[in-house]
Chain A
Amino acid sequence: MARLILVLLWAVVLAPMVGAGDLPDAVKDPKWWEKREQRTDIRYPHNAHMEVMDEEGDSCMLCHSFAPNAMTDESKLKPLTTIANEPLKAVCHDCHVTEQRGPWRCNLCHDDKTKIWPEDHRFGYVDHHGEAARRDEAACKECHLDLAFCTNCHFRRDTMGTGYHPLGYRTLHGLGVRVDTLDCGRCHNQIYCETCHARTRFQ
Chain B
Amino acid sequence: MMAWLLGTGIAAAGAEDSYATTKKLPPLHHVTGVVLPEEMKTPKRLPLREDRELRCPTCHGVEDIDRVPYRLIDRSLPDFLRGGPYDELDAFCYQCHEENRFKRPNVHIMLDKSGKLQEEHCTYCHEEVHRERDRPLRAPDYKLRLPPENLCYGCHLKTPHFNALEHQESKPDARMKLHMKDSKERYGIILPLSREGKVMCPTCHAPHQPGVIDALNPAAGRVDDADLETGVSYREHPWDAVVREDKKARLETLSEQSGRRFELGYRRIDKEVLLRLPAKNGELCLACHQFDE
Which residues of A approach B to under 8 Å, CB–CB? Answer: 31-32, 45-48, 50, 53-54, 57-62, 64-72, 74, 76-81, 83-85, 87-91, 94
Contacts and interface: CB of A to CB of B under 8 A. Distances in A.
A69 B160 contact: yes
B165 A78 contact: yes
Interface of B: 7, 87-88, 157-166, 170, 232, 239, 242-243, 245-247, 250-251, 254, 258, 260, 262, 264, 266-269, 279-282, 285-286, 289, 291-293
Given A66-B161, A89-B246, A48 B285 contact: no
18 contacts: A31-B166, A47-B293, A48-B293, A57-B281, A59-B269, A60-B286, A62-B239, A64-B163, A65-B162, A65-B163, A67-B267, A69-B164, A77-B165, A79-B254, A80-B251, A89-B246, A91-B242, A94-B242
B254 A87 contact: no
B264 A65 contact: yes
Contacts of A85: 162-163, 166
Please list the 4 inter-chain residue pairs (A to B) with the smallest Cβ-Cβ separation, ordered nearest first: A90-B246, A46-B291, A59-B282, A65-B162
A1 B278 CA distance: 69
B159 A59 contact: no
Mostly helix, strand, loop or mixed at chain A's interface? helix
A87 B248 CA distance: 11
A47 B258 CA distance: 36
Of A53, A60, A65, A66, most B-chain CB atoms within 10 Å: A66
B242 A90 contact: yes
B293 A66 contact: no
Contact of B157 (A72, A87, A91): A72
B159 A71 contact: yes
Contact of B281 (A47, A54, A79): A54
A46 B254 contact: no
A66 B279 contact: yes
A150 B254 CA distance: 41
Given A64-B163, A80-B254, A90-B245, 18 more contacts: A46-B291, A47-B291, A53-B282, A59-B282, A60-B286, A62-B239, A62-B266, A64-B162, A65-B162, A66-B162, A66-B279, A69-B164, A70-B87, A80-B251, A81-B163, A84-B163, A84-B247, A90-B242
Given A46-B293, A62-B266, A67 B243 contact: no
A81 B242 contact: no
Contacts of A71: 159
Contacts of B242: 90-91, 94
